Amino acid sequence: MRIDKSSPIPKYHQLKEIIREMVEQEELKEGEMIPSERELCERFGISRMTVRQAVMELVNEGVLYREQGRGTFVAARKVQQPTARLTSFTQDMRERGMEPSSEVLEVEVEGAGPLAARRLGVEEGERVIRLRRLRLADGEPMALETSHLLYEVAKGVLGRDLAGRSLYEELSAAGVEISRAEQSYEAVPVSEEEAALLGVEPGSAALLIERVTYDAGGRPFEYVRSTYRGDRYRITATLTPGDRVWRPPH
Ligand code: GLP
């Protein structure tokens, strides 16, 4: 792997791709320190400024992280989340060999606000359970989730241990069957409060995932807003051709 100086692709960009490839191929392993700026300059015959820009961008993208006074290291791989499967946080983490847990920040029975009411297809003020949890994997904060659950459907979960258990498992035990969900993704910066809970810098990138979940009768009963750490999450999808296949313009 080398940098092609005659290429129109900027040198910092080429270096980024090289480092990314080394991480992908595990030539540089999770938690390992990357070579120093000087070593990278010498090895690839490029300037310090070029190296700095490449490393800074990879830090911003969550591929590398910096530790004050120690150096730059390879970050943990992002959790891959396929878009088409309806799973719970607990399932997602267990499938990856991680131990899920939660801190219950708030649990309240209250009247639905305008947004939750609209998403759940009920009148404003309809009784809902609002559950705010910090979700952790192997003790590390991954996401903040606020669920609004129709009281009539989900009241069976009140009083259950939602810190140590899966909401979906508790719902299932209470006889609620999940049939489908609709989900959207948006890029957002984290607020100061969210940053403190998630252990990231305020303003860093996050994925805002909104989900409306339906029961077996086709009734929406759960509206959730989740803020997932952008440096730990990656959404994947399998795409199949639609009716009209897109072709590149000639
Ligand atoms: C995911 C979804 C949420 C859902 C939660 C249930 O995190 N984004 O919409 O409420 O899973 O998770 P669990 O059953 O682990 O509590």
Residue pLDDT, tens place only, 67-97: 988 999 999 888 877 777 899 999 989 988 8
One-letter identity of residue 68: Q
Section 163-185 average pLDDT: 93
- Taken in order of first residue, the domains within the chain and their CATH numbers are 11-74 (1.10.10.10), 79-236 (3.40.1410.10)
90 SS3 class:
helix
Tokens of 213: 């979940």
CA nearest to 178, candidates 221, 139, 211, 146: 221
Tell me what pLDDT residue 90 has: 94
CA of residue 89 to ligand 1 center, whole Å: 5
**Strands ordered across the beta sheet of 140-150:** 100-111, 127-137, 140-150, 220-229, 205-215, 178-189
Q: Is the pLDDT of residue 168 over 70?
A: yes
Q: Ligand 1: which of 89, 129, 170, 172 to mutate, judged by most atoms within 8 Å of the beta carbon? A: 89
Question: What stretches of 151-240 adopt beta strand conformation (E)?
Answer: 178-189, 205-215, 220-229, 233-236
Query: What pLDDT digit, counting tens, does each position of 98-152 carry?
Result: 999 999 999 999 999 999 999 999 999 999 999 999 999 999 999 999 999 999 9
What is the pLDDT averaged over residues 213-233? Answer: 94
Its sign, for the CA torsion 62, 68, 72, 73, is negative
- C-alpha 118/C-alpha 112 separation (Å) is 9
Q: What pLDDT is attached to residue 164?
A: 86
pLDDT band (50, 70, 90) for residue 245? low
In this predicted structure, the answer to whether residue 65 has a pLDDT above a threshold of 80 is: yes
How many A from CA of 30 to the centre of ligand 1? 27
Mean predicted confidence (pLDDT) in 158-178? 91
Ligand 1 residue neighbourhood (C-beta within 6 Å): 88-90, 145, 147, 166-168, 209, 211, 224, 226
**Percent of the chain surpassing pLDDT 90:** 79
Residue 75's identity, in one-letter code, is A
Give burial (CB, 10 Å; 0-12/13-18/19+) of 77: middle
Question: pLDDT at position 16, please?
Answer: 95
Q: What was the pLDDT predicted at 2?
A: 87
Residue 250 pLDDT > 90, yes or no?
Answer: no
What residue's CA is closest to ligand 1, atom 5? 88
Tell me, in angstroms, the distance from the centre of ligand 1 to residue 92's CA.
Answer: 9
Q: Give the pLDDT score at 246.
A: 65
What global pTM score does this model have?
A: 0.78
